[in-house]
């Protein structure tokens, strides 16, 4: 039987960058293919070419045994390909059914609302989507919204689904459920391309993996025959182990961040003290108050009760800018809309929070000459791979985008840092870079609050570990002979 999808000799360049350099890729019906590679290796580009979003420079695509030349996603959808984007294309004020009916192909013959709701119910049952056709999108979790997109694909009879980093914003249970849905789709004969940086997931669900490196095909393997270490090596050419912080390597400094009974919507009575040279890892299932805590510390969320001290300053009511000036750096989890302005340049993003301070400017004026010089320095120092400071940030790979944020926040020599999901969407090498930066800062005497849903990272760099559940801290432990069972209990909200 011919493969469901065959991509042959795909080349796509952006100026001097060869994002896809002669790539061949096949997907069978009833197969989950893992598409792996470092940030910027060309995975999304390849999928955008397939989906008609980017015309290739050269190469051929065959789909369901016929040539496919999609000029737009519309053509690709018609041919039976669906791409689930990270940012969902749903109307929040409408119900699931209404969203599915929106842009339903075949214009003239309008499907009845009731009929569609019934289709949705059936498909939802068959694939374990657990979706209520009458639920409003705004009331659904990210994971559920993603399933609406998957449902759309199913109902439009897509034979091939492209999932580009679908798990990076999901809670662990939602990830497990998504993987189950993928398995059901596979058993119904659909082909799936699954892009992820999380190797355990990939090994769990995929049948076969294809690895890209710098735009080229770097390897291919059946999952049954490969280990995590081998896979990591295929991706980056070496195995990247987690760093390790050993307690007591250096002296603790002064009190840098002191939080007393901090409360806000979704956050109740958080208390901790943090000295210079200390990393407090905050673990927990995503959505248990981590975002609220990060925002309350950064000055982006009104505080209803409690005190925040940054160094000697009472920052409880201080503005965002005042907190930056007190020495607080903040790496938000939401990179696309908060930490970065994707439509603006590398230079603009490096100056984002510092435009009123030298070298970027004064209170009244920007000083582009010295600002650009600083931006160039930062690009070199933090190894931001971009053609120049005027390059649009949204076109950088995920790893390089995060490097822009890190360069901006850490180059201020902060005394306190709040980092939230700082490694989301990053490949193992880039993840290592972020963790190393945190450790270096600790060595320089900064106090760091490292919030992450990746327990492995927390265990790797924290001096102390706090676990959040239901908007409060469920427990704190030094990072020494940690009882993982205890951490699990705290995470599930049960106080031991």
Ligand X SMILES: Nc1ncnc2c1ncn2[C@@H]1O[C@H](COP(=O)(O)OP(=O)(O)OP(=O)(O)O)[C@@H](O)[C@H]1O
3-state secondary structure of 423: coil
- State yes or no: residue 44 binds Mg ion (CB under 5 A): yes
Contact between 140 and 148 under an 8 Å Cβ cutoff? The reply is yes
Residue 364 contact among Mg ion, another protein, ligand X, none, beta carbon within 5 to 8 Å by kind: another protein
- Report the chain's terminal Cα–Cα distance, integer Å: 57
Least Å distance, CB 336 to another protein, is 8
- Cβ neighbors of 32 (< 8 A, separation 6 or more) are 182, 183, 186, 192, 194, 205, 206, 207, 208
Residue 456 main-chain phi, psi, to 5 deg: -60, -40
- Cβ closest to ligand X, residue 62 vs residue 342: 342
Specify which residues 475 forms β-bridges with. 467
Size of interface with another protein, in residues (CB under 8 A): 30
| Among the listed residues 351, 362, 7, 349, the one whose alpha carbon sits nearest the alpha carbon of residue 160 | 7
Instruction: Among 277, 299, 398, 428, indicate the residue that binds ligand X (CB under 6 A).
Output: 398
Contact between 254 and 445 under an 8 Å Cβ cutoff? The reply is no
Instruction: Among 92, 157, 314, 334, indicate the residue that binds another protein (CB under 8 A).
Output: 334
Least Å distance, CB 53 to another protein, is 11
Contact between 151 and 157 under an 8 Å Cβ cutoff? The reply is no
User: Which range binds Mg ion by CB under 5 A, 29-37, 42-50, 72-80, 167-175?
Assistant: 42-50
Least Å distance, CB 69 to another protein, is 15
- Cβ closest to another protein, residue 147 vs residue 323: 323
| Distance, CA of 284 to CA of 305 (rounded, Å) | 23
- Cβ closest to ligand X, residue 164 vs residue 292: 164
- Cβ closest to Mg ion, residue 47 vs residue 446: 47
Cα–Cα distance list, 104 to 81, 135, 136, 169 (Å): 15, 19, 18, 27
- Cβ closest to another protein, residue 204 vs residue 325: 325
Least Å distance, CB 43 to Mg ion, is 5
Instruction: Among 73, 172, 368, 429, indicate the residue that binds another protein (CB under 8 A).
Output: 368
- State yes or no: residue 51 binds another protein (CB under 8 A): no
Range 7-66, binding ligand X (CB under 6 A): 14, 17, 19, 37, 39-45
- Cβ closest to another protein, residue 24 vs residue 338: 338
| Distance, CA of 302 to CA of 411 (rounded, Å) | 27
- Cβ neighbors of 224 (< 8 A, separation 6 or more) are none
Residue 45 contact among another protein, ligand X, Mg ion, none, beta carbon within 5 to 8 Å by kind: ligand X
- State yes or no: residue 422 binds ligand X (CB under 6 A): no
Instruction: Among 320, 373, 380, 413, indicate the residue that binds another protein (CB under 8 A).
Output: 320
Least Å distance, CB 417 to Mg ion, is 27
Cα–Cα distance list, 472 to 107, 242, 261, 458 (Å): 50, 28, 10, 18
Cα–Cα distance list, 172 to 175, 287, 420, 453 (Å): 5, 11, 17, 9
| Distance, CA of 82 to CA of 154 (rounded, Å) | 9
Range 339-358, binding another protein (CB under 8 A): 339-344, 348, 351-353, 355-356
Residue 42 contact among ligand X, another protein, Mg ion, none, beta carbon within 5 to 8 Å by kind: ligand X
Token digits for 490? 């705290």
Least Å distance, CB 161 to ligand X, is 17
Q: What is the largest CA-CA distance in the chain?
A: 73
What is the sign, positive or negative, of the torsion defined by CA atoms of 468, 474, 479, 481?
negative
Least Å distance, CB 25 to another protein, is 25
Least Å distance, CB 296 to Mg ion, is 31
- State yes or no: residue 364 binds another protein (CB under 8 A): yes
| Distance, CA of 415 to CA of 444 (rounded, Å) | 9
Size of interface with ligand X, in residues (CB under 6 A): 16
Interface contacts to ligand X, rule CB under 6 A? 14, 17, 19, 37, 39-45, 395-399
Chain positions contacting another protein, by CB under 8 A: 55, 298, 300, 319-321, 324, 330, 332, 334, 337-344, 348, 351-353, 355-356, 361, 363-366, 368
Q: Where along the sequence are the contacts to Mg ion (CB under 5 A)?
A: 44
């Amino acid at each position: 039987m011919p493969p469901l999808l065959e991509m042959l000799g795909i080349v796509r360049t952006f100026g001097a960058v060869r994002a896809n350099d002669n790539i061949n890729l096949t997907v069978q019906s009833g197969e989950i293919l893992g598409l792996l590679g470092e940030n910027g290796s060309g995975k999304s580009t390849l999928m955008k070419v397939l989906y008609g979003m980017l015309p290739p420079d050269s190469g051929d695509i065959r789909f369901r045994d016929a040539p496919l030349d999609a000029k737009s996603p519309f053509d690709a959808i018609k041919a039976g390909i669906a791409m689930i984007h990270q940012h969902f294309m749903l109307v929040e004020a409408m119900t699931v059914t209404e969203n599915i009916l929106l842009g339903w192909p075949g214009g003239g013959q309008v499907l009845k609302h009731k009929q569609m709701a019934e289709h949705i119910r059936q498909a939802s049952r068959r694939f374990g989507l657990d979706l209520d056709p009458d639920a409003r999108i705004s009331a659904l979790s990210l994971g559920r919204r993603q399933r609406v997109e998957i449902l759309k694909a199913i109902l439009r009879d897509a034979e091939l689904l492209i999932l580009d980093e679908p798990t990076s914003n999901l809670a662990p249970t939602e990830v497990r459920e998504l993987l189950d849905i993928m398995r059901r789709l596979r058993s119904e004969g659909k082909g799936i391309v699954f892009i992820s940086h999380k190797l355990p997931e990939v090994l769990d669900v995929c049948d076969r993996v294809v690895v890209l490196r710098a735009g080229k095909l770097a390897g291919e393997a059946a999952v049954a025959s490969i280990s995590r270490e081998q896979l990591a090596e295929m991706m980056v050419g070496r195995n990247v182990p987690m760093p390790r912080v050993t307690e007591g390597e250096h002296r603790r400094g002064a009190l840098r961040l002191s939080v007393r009974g901090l409360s806000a919507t979704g956050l109740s009575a958080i208390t901790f003290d943090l000295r210079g040279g200390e990393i407090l890892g905050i673990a927990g299932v995503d959505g248990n108050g981590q975002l609220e805590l990060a925002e309350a510390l950064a000055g982006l969320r009104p505080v209803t009760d409690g005190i925040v001290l940054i160094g000697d300053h009472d920052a409880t009511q201080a503005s965002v800018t005042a907190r930056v000036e007190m020495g607080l750096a903040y790496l938000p989890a939401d990179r696309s809309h908060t930490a970065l302005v994707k439509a603006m340049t590398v230079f603009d993003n490096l100056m984002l929070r510092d435009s009123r301070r030298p070298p970027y400017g004064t209170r009244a004026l920007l000083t582009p000459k010295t600002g650009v010089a600083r931006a160039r320095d930062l690009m070199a120092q933090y190894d931001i791979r971009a053609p120049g400071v005027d390059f649009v940030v949204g076109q950088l790979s995920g790893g390089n985008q995060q490097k822009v944020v890190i360069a901006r926040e850490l180059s201020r020599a902060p005394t306190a840092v709040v980092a939230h999901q700082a490694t989301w969407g990053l490949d193992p090498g880039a993840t290592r870079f972020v963790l190393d930066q945190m450790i270096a800062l600790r060595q320089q005497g900064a106090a760091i609050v490292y919030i992450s849903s990746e327990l492995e990272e927390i265990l790797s760099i924290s001096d102390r570990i706090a676990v959040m559940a239901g908007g409060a801290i469920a427990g704190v432990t030094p990072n020494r002979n940690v009882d993982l069972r205890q951490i699990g209990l705290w995470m599930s909200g049960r106080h031991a």
